Amino acid sequence: MIELHELTKRYGDKTAVDGITATIQPGAVTGFLGPNGAGKSTTMRLILGLDGPTSGHAHVNGKPYSTSKAPLAEVGAVLDAKAIDGGRSARNHLLALGASVKVGPRRVDEVIDLVGLTDVAHRRTRQFSLGMGQRLGIASALLADPEILILDEPVNGLDVDGVQWLRGLLTDMAAEGRTVLLSSHLMSEMELVAERLLVIGQGKILADSTIRDFIQHSAVGSVSVVSPDADRLIHLLQGDGIAITTTGSERFQVQGMGTRTIGDIAFQNRLRIHELAPHAGSLEEAYMAMTRDAVEYSGTHAHTPASTTVTGALR
């Protein structure tokens, strides 16, 4: 288990992590999301004792990770897959790492096989592709069979087979009761593998929930409506908390109201509906809606869709 309590880290006048409190439980893959510069990497470094907090604390299994008597058996982490000696072979890299924690050649060969590097185990790592480097980093993290796994952008460079393999590995580890903290910008992959989410923006916790609850409570779901009586129906649907976006003379999107309510209002007023289709929204849409105001580095959008939005306050 990982526990963060009022965790704060400042670098001069820059606050990278701002009083965050959260518990990352075993038995589930927890996705760690946030825009660039949000504080994700700093938080992971604080958990691992690579940086010291300005205030608050990060505990691993009830104590600072720096005090662990068997750190690699407690936490396996990959923050930078390139942080290896390029002159060593993959096997020698793992043998050297294993020697520091009394892990021998048999376990080294097991993890090499597990991550799919058997055929290149004796190749110098400077010759490795990004994906091969990621696999070696994961092998290093798994070497001492840790209770907790912390991975920062582990999908980068992996091919489709590698992504599916990693998805299965993380799911299996969580099912065994281990704690898995995964940072990634790939929302579609996060939606497939994670059960819980921790979202951070400008150093603060924005959300701490299951993925399902995060999407359901994000207000990104909508209903697509097609009606020859669109103008009259839109007028009747307007109200507090309702956002209506017209996308054509007869077509519009409604946020804040379900299909049953829309259908009942149309029926009661003898208005025609040719289409009434719910759209639940995705993790990416919910994430973008939540972090829109927490993005430190953003670009401009050259294209603005031709639509009109009508909003109201909560009904």
Burial class (CB in 10 A: 0-12, 13-18, 19+), 185: middle
Query: Would you tell me how many other CB atoms lie within 10 Å of the CB of residue 75?
Result: 24
Residue 312: both structure tokens together: 């109201």
Residues counted in the chain: 315
List, edge to edge, every strand of the sheet that includes 28-33.
75-78, 148-152, 179-183, 28-33, 196-201, 204-210
Q: Which among 149, 171, 276, 263 is positioned nearest to 222, based on CA atoms?
A: 276
Antiparallel, parallel or unpaired: β 308-311 and 243-246: antiparallel
Type and span of the H or E element at 187: helix 187-193
Confidence of residue 94 (pLDDT cuts 50, 70, 90): very high
The pLDDT of residue 291: 80
Type and span of the H or E element at 28: strand 28-33
What percentage of the chain exceeds 90 in pLDDT?
Answer: 64
Give residue-wise pLDDT tens across range 162-205: 899 999 999 999 999 999 999 988 888 898 999 999 999 999 99
Q: What is the pLDDT averaged over residues 229-235?
A: 95
Q: What is the pLDDT averaged over residues 109-123?
A: 94
- Are residues 228 and 249 in contact, defined by beta-carbon separation less than 8 angstroms? no
Q: Domains along the chain?
A: 2-216 (3.40.50.300), 222-311 (no CATH)
> What mean pLDDT, rounded, does the chain reach?
88
Give residue-wise pLDDT tens across range 285-310: 888 888 876 665 555 444 444 444 44
- Are residues 43 and 60 in contact, defined by beta-carbon separation less than 8 angstroms? no
